[in-house]
Structure 1
Amino acid sequence: MGDAFDEDCDYLFKAVLIGDSGVGKSNLLSRFAKDEFRLDSKPTIGVEFAYRNIKVADKIIKAQIWDTAGQERFRAITSSYYRGALGALLVYDITRRETYESVRKWLQELREFGSEHMVVVLVGNKCDLGQSREVEKEEGKGFAENERLFFMETSALQNVNVEEAFMQMITKIHHQTGQKCLESKMNETTRINVPNGKEIKIVDEVTETKQSSCCSI
């Protein structure tokens, strides 16, 4: 992970994992970042994060994914945890309905402390345990559609849709960033009306440079 951190990249995207304790947030992250899964995974204490470099279109994006404890006693870190995050995976366990019932609470917190334009993917994890399912896929999908979230069921154990869930979030963030850059460039030309009726264009020259340290968007 240290080598990846030193590589050049075009953008640094921060994203967060949220959801109740035990839904599999840490194993989703380790599967995505290192392609690892631990059956003896311990509850996260405080905050952990991992990096992974991804190529989207012609850009190298360093995804910085933060994982936090789902237990209430660690919620004091909330505001700093969400600061600067462009995306979130909101995770529940399909075999524990109470974790799905908590999704609304987490979403409310996300909207209170997070960015207005944050990309959110609702993730129903542990789909490999279908025989113990307590939340139907259609229910999760319906909630996501109503709240304008993306939706995917995953299995960190069997590596089902883990890559796809993170990539859906990161690709959408990249798309939004591209739109913002385009709007910014369009606004570089400012028109000012002067008393004699003429129009003056003020153009700010913006030069993109690839730096060894990534740009945080």
Structure 2
Amino acid sequence: MLTPTLLSCLLATKIDLRHLRSVAVEDAASFAESEGLFFIETSALDATNVEKAFQTVLAEIYRIISKKPLSSQSGSGYSSNIREGESIQVSASNSGSLTSQCCSS
């Protein structure tokens, strides 16, 4: 079984060469399910399900990330002392006085 932070997919290649199969589709799908993997049959020859495989993995990553509360994203490089439900007070700044030195001559 995989950890919650690891997303994996079992790809069966060469779907166009069914007569050369070593593993039955049902066996591969059953194995994938028992291991918590996505299972997709693909073909590099005619690109069958190749894009679907990437889209499935990306959609699942998005689903997992969007479910996480902001507070659980520690270790992301951002630190905050703001707790959930607190308001943030932003003071007016004098942004007009800031100038960039990189492009001035």
Which TM-score band (shorter chain)?
0.5 to 0.7
User: Structure 2, unaligned stretches of length 5 or more?
Assistant: 73-81, 89-105
* 1:139-179 Cα shifts (integer Å, max 9, x gaps): 11000110111111100111110010110000000111111
1:164 to 2:52 alignment:
yes
Cα separation, 1, equivalents of 2:52 and 2:9: 11
The match for 1:184 is 70
* 1:39-90 Cα shifts (integer Å, max 9, x gaps): xxxxxxxxxxxxxxxxxxxxxxxxxxxxxxxxxxxxxxxxxxxxxxxxxxxx
Runs of 4+ that moved beyond 6 A: none
Cα separation, 2, equivalents of 1:117 and 1:204: 31
Task: State which structure, 1 or 2, has the greater radius of gyration over its C-alpha atoms.
Answer: 2
Cα separation, 1, equivalents of 2:83 and 2:55: 31
Higher fraction of strand: 1
Query: Which residue among 56, 62, 68 is the counterpart of 1:174?
Result: 62
User: Structure 1, unaligned stretches of length 5 or more?
Assistant: 1-106, 191-202, 206-217
User: Residue 9 of structure 2 aligns to which amino acid in structure 1?
Assistant: V
Q: Note the aligned Cα RMSD (angstroms).
A: 2.6
Q: CA deviation at 1:204?
A: 6.6
Percent of matched pairs sharing the same residue: 33
TM-score by length of 2: 0.65
